[in-house]
Chains A and B, each alone.
Chain A
Amino acid sequence: MSSSRNTHVGKGDPGSLKLIATLSFAGLLSGLIIVLAYETTLPTITAYKAKVLEEAVFKVLPGVTSMQRLVYRDRALTVNDQVQKGDEAIFSGFDASGRLVGYAIPGAGPGFQDTIRLLYGYIPEQRKISGMEILESRETPGLGDKIYKDPAFVANFESLSVDPEIRAIKKGKPKAASDIDAITGATISSKAVVRIINEANRLWLPRLEQASGPEAER
């Protein structure tokens, strides 16, 4: 490709100082531009993420009109709107009369290709899941992405018992109240969703029971 002849600038060799200066200047300028772009777009990006999360909370908990962010710290759940790194947070949803309907619990885990992040609604009174929404996933288009594109799969989670444990079962097999239909051709993605929810359940359900004293009520 490049010829050995000096077709570029080169009248004699530039000193190493000039080379370093050129690269440093390019790097500095590039850094400035990138930081500027980052700072300009950050508010829009954060706002969008918050909006997506909020919409998901209302979607997975039907009948909810207002929500609160709860943080688990020192074995207790406290209302806390300040998002901090490393927070273990869930959302409580209330209906129009201010009664607690249920909780929206986030979960994450490995899918077929990359981490799947999801949010699901849990109604403690019935010990049932009321809905599931995938927040982030890179599952195979056409197969694994049915975990959020296929309404029939998503509908599995609309009234799903959490006892004894959720299982993904092949379509057409007899099912218990805590079983869902796995997607044909995307068994790994379906099972990943189930595993993420089960893991989050094991983590949060005892905490919710323990905290369902006075703090959790409004």
Chain B
Amino acid sequence: MAKHKEDLHQEFIKGIWRDNPVFVQVLGMCPMLAVTNTAVNALAMGAATFFVLVGSSFLVSSLRLWIPRQVRISTYIIIIATFVTVTDFTLEALVPKIHKELGAFIPLIVVNCMILGRQEAFASRNSVRLAVMDALGMAAGFLFALLSLGTVREILGEGKLFGFSLFGPDFEPWVIMILPPGGFLTLGLLLLFFSWVKERKQRLEQRLTQLESEAQ
């Protein structure tokens, strides 16, 4: 029982850190670069993807015994596209301003490879509980990545965070940060940072085992 619980926990945690869809798997780059010019846009995009991924994983996993192998990809796409379309209409009705800013990138969630990837690699082979935990973790990881990029770019590019001015009127915004090159730049630096952290951790562990064996 305890092991089972740990499994669920593991499936959730891995998406946020160890297997983060953006920083580790480098998936879903298109929305990652395109709509992270402000933190609010990043948040809305993350939330929309969250809903689509969790909903699709739940459905795909519950229907996994009924979907014939030969048409599974088409069925996954139909499921994902339905969730995306519903999200699109809902956002337009509830938060029209943000919907306008995100533009074409909401419909493009359909082709986010991270989502289809999770269906094929995980949801279609695991129980509903595991699939939902996995989806929650991956979606949270994606949201976290979008938000880190959006925050950095908005602070440097506009001197604001969530629309509030941070540095007063004398701040000269670093305009390139909210343009596409700024997206690549920030993403590159963040990837660098994450691999550095990973490498450092590995080296520490190596060192630890070394010390232990020396002590013996």
A interface list, Cβ under 8 A from B: 1-2, 6-10, 13-14, 18-19, 22-23, 26-27, 29-30, 33-34, 37-38, 40-41, 44-45, 48, 114, 136, 138, 140-143, 185
Contact = CB atoms under 8 A, between A and B. Distances in A.
B85 A37 contact: yes
A9 B68 contact: yes
A141 B37 contact: yes
B68 A41 contact: no
A143 B176 CA distance: 10
B67 to A, nearest CB: 6
23 contacts: A9-B64, A14-B68, A18-B68, A19-B68, A22-B66, A22-B75, A23-B74, A23-B75, A26-B75, A30-B82, A33-B82, A34-B85, A37-B85, A37-B90, A40-B89, A41-B90, A41-B92, A41-B93, A45-B89, A45-B92, A140-B179, A141-B38, A185-B175
A142 B69 contact: no
Nearest to A31: B82
Interface in B58-83: 64-72, 74-75, 78-79, 81-82
Contacts, number: 86
B200 interface: no
Contacts of A143: 175, 179
Given A27-B78, A138-B103, A142-B158, A41 B67 contact: no
Interface string B76-114: 001101100110011011101000100100000000000
Given A14-B70, A142-B173, 11 more contacts: A9-B64, A9-B67, A9-B69, A13-B70, A14-B68, A22-B66, A26-B79, A41-B90, A45-B92, A138-B103, A142-B157
Most buried by B among A6, A7, A30, A140: A30
B121 interface: yes
Nearest to A143: B175
B125 interface: yes
Contacts of B71: 19, 22-23
Contacts of B86: 33-34, 37
A9 B103 CA distance: 39
Interface string B174-200: 010011000000000000000000000
Interface string B136-170: 00000000000000000000011000000000000
Interface in B27-69: 37-38, 64-69
**B interface SS class:** helix
Contacts of B69: 6, 8-10
B153 to A, nearest CB: 10
Nearest to B81: A30
A143 B90 CA distance: 29
A153 to B, nearest CB: 16
A10 to B, nearest CB: 5
B149 to A, nearest CB: 14
Contacts of B65: 9
Contacts of A26: 74-75, 78-79
A143 B158 CA distance: 11
Given A9-B65, A41-B92, A34 B82 contact: yes
Nearest to A19: B71
A136 B100 contact: yes
A149 to B, nearest CB: 10
A50 to B, nearest CB: 12
A19 B124 CA distance: 17
Contact of A38 (B79, B89, B179): B89
B7 interface: no
Contacts of B38: 141
A82 B128 CA distance: 51
B205 interface: no
Smallest CB-CB A-B distances: 3 pairs: A41-B93, A44-B93, A8-B69
